[in-house]
Structure 1
């Protein structure tokens, strides 16, 4: 690690010379996702009161400035008391509208400054502190393969933390490094830093454990994705025509099922994005539980297909609550999981997905359908799907019943904890709801990956958010 780097200076400044446990080597996409989450929190907790707004210090590695990031900071800057951005002169800030904002200061780094190898985000607010510090591996450290050409395979020394002392010390180090470029700006930043230290407001709950799990998931997924991509490249070179034909047939079958599931949602005028939202929230719960990537993919697909058993359901299934249904409609509603599983039997290649859909209505106490499975005998993916689909139904209107708030829907689930639902999963759902309510995340409304077939002939994606 470069001794001039912010990371190394922070390490040296610690009494025991130790960086926090989050320090390690991360893939670029992992750090991008984490920075975006921290930036989104600024937007979600925006306040017009200047004394409550954060000070944001940013450096971009080697001046690599992407247009979408520039636009993000154009939206973020009005929510901040000040934003200081350090990058090389050719980064494009000078000509971009973000660089023209009154509370945005640009620091044009010299090629000889080790800051050009860093990528940092430091947020200092009256109620919380957060940061990501990164430094890309050197050419020698990338051996034996050398520096990757694929941007997703780039690696960085980095750490993230909410620890006030570490964030404040890192801010002091970065402001001091800005000093030689603009002493007056460094003085103003230091004064704002001190002003924030004097301002108090309710503290944000410690979310280090939750974020650590999510970061671990992102890092593991990225590593597996890179390995899969490399293997896929080799496979494409070796794959024969017969295998290609077989693969295309299977893909067509799956597309037909996905299209059928989408048509089910389109029939449900009160809940037209149920499958997307259930799939996304299942994926989030699975991430919190550290489920392996393969299981998460299966869980995501099961979420998209979980209502396929309603493909030929009477319209009353979508316009009435179970209490309002007649006997025939209610019987169809209760058998939806079994019917869906029977449909999916037509594609043996997704037998695992079929089983998840079939057992989504099993109960933790053994009173559910179709097999009366109990406790951990029920597949974890089916347990997650059953809880999430039940929760999602309550936050949307149904018949004469209005939509419930997130907290009200969660209370419905908590009342069934230990009887219908796995208590551990209810607690994980509680974590997601709590983070959503305090503005540290948005309730997910679509999975991380979505088959293209799902989007054909469908409404614009922005309607998903407006109907969430």
Structure 2
């Protein structure tokens, strides 16, 4: 990272000096996918209210993608309060209709400006913030035998995030970078950023769609890269690169799902640590049952993702008991396991997790959903998850229902012993609660291992 790069300046500006956990080296196709997913979110999900429209800041690399993006940004401008595009003068935006819009400003970068090596997209709206920041590796950054042979093999230092703090700081950095070119524009953009920060966030922007699109785009970009490389490399080289790329893309897709799960917890003001606590207690039960390491790992991850099916649920689901919900809201609550399973099915690597989440509402007596699995026909991980999720929900308030004590929540679970829940699992849960009540152990509040991409504030 060069000292003057936006990434370097962001690292210095953040309180802890730590870039978001998504920071790493990305292939070009992956970054195209991420940018297009965020841009599509503007086009498809921005409210009609102009006060909710985003401020968009963009920098394009010299000689890359300009004309093919110009039409796209004309449409994006219709859903944005303002777009500032920094690019070299010959980018083509000047003569294009996009550059002539009242709410589009062009900044012509000088050849010596380090911004011409960057490719950035920053989106700031009252209800959400998102960005992709990246800088292409220099020729010295590649090993001699890894210099890119095709456009798709180019690599970038970069990151993407929905966290407002780094997005706000990056916006300030880019605006200041534009000040030497156009001080009036920089002042205008700073005022817009301040106005957005001060706008009441009455409209909750659901990012489920953008995360789903990211997953889809990542899968598509992987297929495109494999296709391109297959035309230009020997099969043995291709296989090695594809395996490495697959691991990188799988990590990015998993990050998207984990962030979606965090959004669910953030919407639930009465139970904001549900995923962490369910994951932790499910893992503890699995340890007491001496489950193999692989099953414990699956339990941990399934616990973190068990509520992902509520990503698009209306806020009433988190403020009312099921009995108080209207029909449409109740449908989300009733079908949460199935919806979660459908979301996770877009990532084949998570098939085992998809099955655990999808069958968490099966009952021991076969009366549950979605398949009416009875007894041990339902996997033990799903049986554990269903019991722990029900128990944890009872220990937190919901609507006009007060939270139950650990003992009271256990009694409720025991009342469904041999009907809803596996009696052995209920007994194991009872042993844990008794040890906690005797002061011999603490109820776990997070799993033994957390993915590095689980946000810091969720673990503090």
TM-score, length of structure 1 as denominator length: 0.49
| Paired residues of 1:6 and 1:174 also in contact (CA < 8 A) | yes
1:172 and 2:172 aligned? yes
- The aligned runs of 1:41-120 (5 Å cut-off) are 41-120=41-120
Q: Is the CA contact (8 Å cut-off) linking 1:217 and 1:290 kept in structure 2?
A: no
Query: What do residues 276-307 of structure 1 show as CA deviations (whole Å, max 9, x unaligned)?
Result: xxxxx999643346349xxxxxxxxxxxxxxx
Q: Secondary structure at the match of 2:349?
A: coil
Is contact 2:124-2:196 (8 Å) kept?
A: yes
C-alpha distance in 2 between matches for 1:174 and 1:102 = 20
1:16 and 2:75 aligned: no
Cα pair distance change 1:233/1:364, threshold 3 Å: farther
Kept in 2: contact 1:60–1:86 (CA 8 A): yes
Aligned partner of 1:365 among 373, 381, 391: 373
Q: 1:224 to 1:50 in 2, by over 3 A?
A: closer
Q: Structure 2: 5+ residue runs without aligned partners?
A: 237-339, 352-369, 381-419, 421-460
- Equivalent position SS for 2:138: coil
Tell me the alpha carbon deviations over residues 149-208 of structure 1, each in whole angstroms, 9 at most, x when there is no partner.
Answer: 311111111111111111111100100000001011001000111111110123647869
Going from structure 1 to structure 2, the CA distance change for 1:71 and 1:284 (only over 3 Å counts) comes to farther
Q: CA offsets, 1:67-112, max 9 Å, x none?
A: 3311110101011110000011121111111111111001111111
Structure 1's unaligned 5+ residue stretches are 237-280, 293-361, 368-372, 378-417, 419-468
Contact 1:121–1:132 (Cα < 8 Å) also in 2: yes
1:147 positional shift: 3.5
Question: Is 184-193 or 57-66 further displaced after alignment?
Answer: 57-66
Is the Cα–Cα contact under 8 Å of residues 84 and 105 in structure 1 kept in the other structure? yes
Q: 1:42 to 1:18 in 2, by over 3 A?
A: same
Aligned pairs for 1:175-190 (under 5 A) are 175-190=175-190
How far apart are 1:225 and its partner, in Å? 4.7
TM-score, length of structure 2 as denominator length? 0.50
Q: Which residue of 2 aligns with 1:287?
A: 346
Q: How does 1:342-357 map to 2 (within 5 A)?
A: none
- 2:129 is aligned to 129
Distance 1:215 1:62, change over 3 A: farther
Matched residue SS, 1:145: helix
Give how far 1:52 is off. 1.6
SS, match of residue 192 in structure 2: helix
Number of residue pairs matched by the alignment: 263
Distance 1:18 1:213 in 2: 27
Asked whether the 8 Å contact 2:29–2:152 carries over to 1, the reply is: yes
Q: What is the Cα deviation at residue 38 of structure 1?
A: 0.9
Structure-2 change in CA distance of 1:7 and 1:233 (3 Å): closer
Q: State the alpha-carbon separation in 2 of the partners of residues 189 and 103 from structure 1.
A: 11
Matches within 5 A, 1:256-295: 285-288=344-347, 290-291=349-350
Q: Work out the CA distance in 1 between the residues paired with 2:213 and 2:379.
A: 22
Q: Quote the RMSD (CA, aligned, Å).
A: 3.9
Q: Secondary structure at the match of 1:79?
A: coil
Once the two structures are superposed, the pairs formed by residues 300-449 of structure 1 within 5 Å of their partners are 363=371, 365=373, 374-375=377-378
Kindly state the Cα deviation for residue 223 of structure 1 after the two structures are TM-superposed.
9.2
CA contact (8 A) 2:37 2:213 kept: no
Do the aligned partners of residues 180 and 232 (structure 1) sit closer, same or farther apart at CA in structure 2, a change above 3 Å counting?
A: closer
- 5 Å-filtered alignment, 1:35-46, equals 35-46=35-46
Mapped to 2, the partners of 1:66 and 1:118 lie a distance apart of: 13
Assess if the C-alpha contact under 8 Å between 2:37 and 2:214 holds in 1: no
- Mark the CA change 1:374 to 1:35 in structure 2 (over 3 Å): closer, same or farther: same
Tell me, yes or no, if the aligned pair for 2:77 and 2:83 is still in contact at 8 Å.
yes
Closer/same/farther in 2, CA of residues 28 and 227 from structure 1, 3 Å limit: same
